[in-house]
Structure 1
Amino acid sequence: MALNLARLLILSSLLIVQFSCKRSKIQKSIAELPKSDISSIDSTSIESKLEDLIINESYFEYLKLKSKIDFQSDNLSQSFPANVHIKKDSVIWISVSVGIEAARCLITQDSIQFLDRINRKYYGLSIPELSEQFNFDFDFSLLQSLLIGNLPFDKKEGDRVILNSLYTSLFQQARNIKIENQIDNVNHKLNTILAEDLGGKSKLGISYSDFVEEISGDLVPHAIFAKIDVFRGEQVKTSTLDFKHTKFEFSDNELRFPYTIPKSYQKGVIVF
């Protein structure tokens, strides 16, 4: 149970994102990631200029989230509540409590650490080790962007923009990852990410919905759907996450990120 929760919490930190399309649509899209050539675009679509693309993003120093997370995989189904604190470009902190705190996770620029308070164990992975486990080139900036619904990577020269009737696609390649970002043509929010690791072949699909305007004026997604297909030789392991946010609070006031490994805890090993 505890090791499963460790896996879930690390997966959650990777896949905290929002659900904006119908689930059947995103499942199909993830299975058939867009090609990088213009011939893959619908005949009614047109190429547009990068400088004309408007994206409504959130800017903050600190962010506090409350969520219910539902996880599904080939051999596991589980739900749990989570509190999330973020310091921009620095730290992501996740706590799971059911009456008492059961687990805590800390993500920094170079590592992911986990405390299992029930079984008094701790776990740790570097970001490169995590990327190797999933055959997907993760980094902190990507994880942070997924959490807040902003672009995973900044726009840059060479990106391609395709205008469709309902959304605009921004095609990018960063490091070893090929991405299609779909931006709604009405509210200009990122609503879908389809990504593929060109080396490991693993695929990540993210979709955002239930957008709510906060007191700060930011339009943010309060519902989540994410799916990752991990390729290991001829085998594909699929996991999905559903999130329902009950709190999405931007702040300029400093948040706490407490994480200390008690001396009595033993080190554990996580293999996905």
Structure 2
Amino acid sequence: MRKDTLSKVVFLCLLTFCFACRAKKEVAPPVASVPSVVNSKTASIKAITENAFNFKTLSAKAKIDFKFNNQSNGASLNLRMRNKEVIWMSITAIAGIEVARVMITPDSIKVHNRLQGEYLAKPFNFISQYSSRAIDFNILQNLLVGNATQGAVTEASEIHVTGSETAVKTAINGLMYELVFNDIYKLTENKLRDSKDQQLTALYSNFQALNGRNLPYAVSMLSNAGNKNVRIDIKYSSVSVNEPVDFPFSVPKRFTVKD
């Protein structure tokens, strides 16, 4: 992979990744904690809420395939999170060389571009140049674990149950959500659209039991904004939850600070 191409991949991966995740440990049947048929709106909301994936910390390894305007590149991903506090990512080339490291908090985004020896530090709202201003840290973390955004499934939402699927439509802070849940009330499709018709679609599948809940082991993220079409496909080899994790992020002195 060429250096300039990989640099673009790393940065665009971060921006689009402001959306995705997947899981480990045992390959077990999905956990069905509620009946497969829900008749009322209140019961649907309760089932969806009870089946959300809750965690304190999460650590995952995955292979990712990144497509930007029909150009495809592969890499490995090491993902660590502390709920509501930190998202940390290390992106590694096929040769096993770390090419980028990213740390995101509710207030900031920091990026090491190790290929070019550059360091970028920006406030979290920096991503609003590339996505909706309504995207915040909590929305990002929920996207990464396949949960509905807080406030997206309420009595005010438009909810329809058809067979084994539950469809939800709602609007929050200028973002229109179209959500589809399966028969165990896990999110299989999350479509976000803003007033400028920028659209992000997250697709979740291959659910496995982890820590008594279900987590998607396959994720596809599709982003369309202007003439930029980005897709990230993720296949996780392992995921663990609620174990001690660290988030190493020291900046080498040789790195150039980028504006």
TM-score by length of 2: 0.83
Q: Does 1:49 align with 2:41?
A: yes
1:50/1:106 CA distance change after superposition, 3 Å? same
Q: Does 1:127 align with 2:124?
A: yes
| Within-5 A mapping of 1:81-120 | 81-98=76-93, 99-120=96-117
| Within-5 A mapping of 1:139-154 | 139-154=136-151
Q: Which residue of 2 aligns with 1:32?
A: none
Q: Which residue of 1 aligns with 2:32?
A: none
1:242 counterpart letter in structure 2: D
1:242/1:136 CA distance change after superposition, 3 Å? farther
Give the superposition deviation at 1:92. Answer: 0.3
Structure-1 separation of matches of 2:188 and 2:44: 18
Q: Which residue of 2 aligns with 1:35?
A: none
Structure-2 separation of matches of 1:63 and 1:153: 19
| Secondary structure of 1:168 counterpart | strand
> Identity of aligned pairs, percent?
26
1:151 counterpart letter in structure 2: A
Corresponding pairs, count:
234
Structure-2 separation of matches of 1:52 and 1:146: 20
Give the superposition deviation at 1:52. Answer: 3.6
Q: Which of 9, 21, 24 is residue 13 of structure 2 equivalent to?
A: 9
1:77/1:124 CA distance change after superposition, 3 Å? farther
Asked if 2 retains the 8 angstrom alpha-carbon contact of 1:15 and 1:146, the reply is yes
- CA deviations over 1:101-127 (Å, ceiling 9, x no partner): 221001110222110122211123333
Give the superposition deviation at 1:201. Answer: 1.8
Aligned-residue Cα RMSD (Å) equals 2.1
TM-score by length of 1: 0.79
Q: Which of 192, 197, 201 is residue 201 of structure 1 equivalent to?
A: 197
Structure-2 separation of matches of 1:100 and 1:52: 46
| Secondary structure of 2:65 counterpart | strand
Give the superposition deviation at 1:51. Answer: 4.4
Structure-1 separation of matches of 2:13 and 2:44: 38
Structure-2 separation of matches of 1:161 and 1:17: 25
**Structure 2 residue runs without a partner (length 5+):** 23-38
**Structure 1 residue runs without a partner (length 5+):** 19-46
Structure-2 separation of matches of 1:153 and 1:261: 34
Structure-2 separation of matches of 1:81 and 1:159: 38
1:113/1:172 CA distance change after superposition, 3 Å? same
2:213 counterpart letter in structure 1: D
2:232 counterpart letter in structure 1: L
